[in-house]
Structure 1
Amino acid sequence: MKTGFFPRQPRLRKCAARDLPAGPPAVRVFPPRRLRAFSLLEITGVLGVLAILASLALPPLLQQLGELARRQETERLSQIGQGLREYILRARRVPATTTLASNVAEVLGWPARWVQETAGGQPRVFLYDPQLQIGTTTAATLPYVQTTSGAATLNGARCLIVSTLGAPLPSVIGNPGTNAVTVFNLLWDAPDGAPPPGWTWGGEWRQILVQRVNLQPLFTRVVLNNNHIRFGRYSVDNTNAPVALTTNSFTAFFLGRTQLGLHGDGTGPLQSVQLVPSAEAASRDPAYAWYPSYVYERGIWRGRLFMEPPVPRRSGNDLQAAYEIFMSGPPNVYKVGGVTQSSVTWAMYNFMSNYVVWANSGFSAAAKVKVTQWQSSMAAQVKTYCNKKATVQ
């Protein structure tokens, strides 16, 4: 019995052996195709188009590469300048040009060559102001090393770092000779990328970069005053080696971050340690109006002179009160002769009234006679009235 629908299966046709291929199918072979090459004219045209495109794109590209190199060198010079400031504050010394590169490289963690040369291999030039003077140290006698004496004078603490992105620097920059002051000032004042006034050089001034480092703000004037019968002591970066003041007013320049210890006189203990401030801004006024000042008074270091309560100013009423108190007191039983409380006050009155007359006369010699007379009388009566060794009358 049929229970469902089943589709009819296709019938397979029986194939004879002769209908099957005797071997692999045959491969169709095409004749070789000839490849056509570019002609010389076509190659020349392509090269010409490429040359035109390169001529249009190359100048902007070179300009961009030049600006990139300029920005990199400007940043590198700024880092070197900051490294120089940091070295001076850390080491408490201003290095000579012979060791400046290695000193700065140590602070920045660079190889010394990175400080000495540009990325293009051109050497940088380091110049100090020829008029530099820090205490007794000059530009020719650097390095300056800070001591407990500090620096009594501070002038021309400036440094220049000069580099070039193109041709070598003019020889006069590295060896200014007798024109050192003029060369330094011209480079310091010249606008960036512009030649100094009256300066001729065959190279491109835009390729010369100048980093100006003002070292003046790294120093701060410190004033130590003494207002005691014995001299207070102070120390610099070593509280175990205090020195005594030799004058009542000591003034010197010290580098910022210096630890100034304030000690008592003799073998007195350390009373305070003050950190000398530094204004590391190039606009700092060289007069340093806000320099730290300390005074040693009554065995104690203070930030300012101790101000005792002022003596009050008296008026005429106060003089009247003093007169009444003196007159109402019991008489001195040791008085001599006719000196009494009344005679003493009368002598004082005549002295003061005649003094006023003398002052109003322009301190004339004639008016001075009575002033001297009553002054002697007043002094004699006060001495007599207050003499307790006199016998009782």
Structure 2
Amino acid sequence: MLSRWFGLLALAVLISAAGLVPAGAASRIKDIVDVEGVRENQLIGYGLVVGLQGTGDSLNNAPFTRQSLQAMLERLGVNVRDANMRTANTAAVMVTAHLPPFATNGTRIDVTVSALGDAKNLQGGTLLVTPLLGADGEVYAIAQGPLAIGGFKAEGDAATIVRGVPTQGRIANGAVIEREITYQLNAQSSLRLSLRNPDLTTARRIALAINDLMGTGVAEPTDPGTVRVSVPPKFRGNIVDLLTDIEQLIVEPDLPAKVVVDEATGIIVMGQDVRVSTVAVAQGNLTVLVTEDPQVSQPNPLADGQTVVVPRTQVDVLDDSERKLAVVRTGISLQELVDGLNALGLGPRDLISILQAIKAAGALQAEVEVM
């Protein structure tokens, strides 16, 4: 009996603790901000893939492949300057990779290899030593290894089957980091948190949450996309602990009232705070349908005549007269707005025109962004 009483007490504590979590789309700070200096860097390089089964670049159509192949062989002591090379087992490729933050010398990263010329398939190929450069032109990694291709291509005289992209592949742990990007995180006296979705209210809520944790005003929103945090004395030289505590704080991001419209695909996305003033909406299209049904007319038996094609045209006019005027009330929720527009029997294209017309009338209290 006593154990049951303790079980009920523990359940009550859990329920009361759950009620303290703010309602809505609450998120950890680490999921909505980036820390200045903790970032990836893009690397790129040009190299050669060898070992292909006749699916590489045709050297006549890819002069850069021919030049690269000649230069590589000459560095290895093979003179092919005046030779007529016809190999199709080599392909010129671009190699890309992401250099993680705080990556150290000797660690490995994945690389992506993409054909540059007219190679048909990179399956079975091996990437030769390729330096990977950063935006400053310095070499930060060296890539080499066999490719893993996710697609394939099979063809015959009358049919071809292609799955995925056989001219692109990856090499897991295919590059070795040779140069580090120095950034002394622990030496910083202040940090800047960059919001992934800039918003004044969200920036203020993040600053308030950090100040409540620290007990002092160490955080200050400087603009909609940045919160500046001064490192407290007890965390000097140990910013990792400070960031670990800050990242776990829960805040509720504020979202602007926005309607995003993609004209190309007919996609409409509306935020939860979208509201409309009282407005009457009617929608109707005038459709003219012209149908051609030609008939063949033949002469009577033994008659002196010719077989001719007689045109027959039928014209129908649809004016959607059964559609009525609908009233959309003020202050309704997003669900009520969607239900009201759906009740008019509208498709995505018509909804886009209706929303733009409501915005033009000044009744849509939201920003409309057309992609």
Taking structure 2 as the reference length, what is the TM-score of the superposition?
0.16
Structure with more helix by fraction: 1
Taking structure 1 as the reference length, what is the TM-score of the superposition?
0.16
Larger Rg: 1
Structure with more strand by fraction: 2
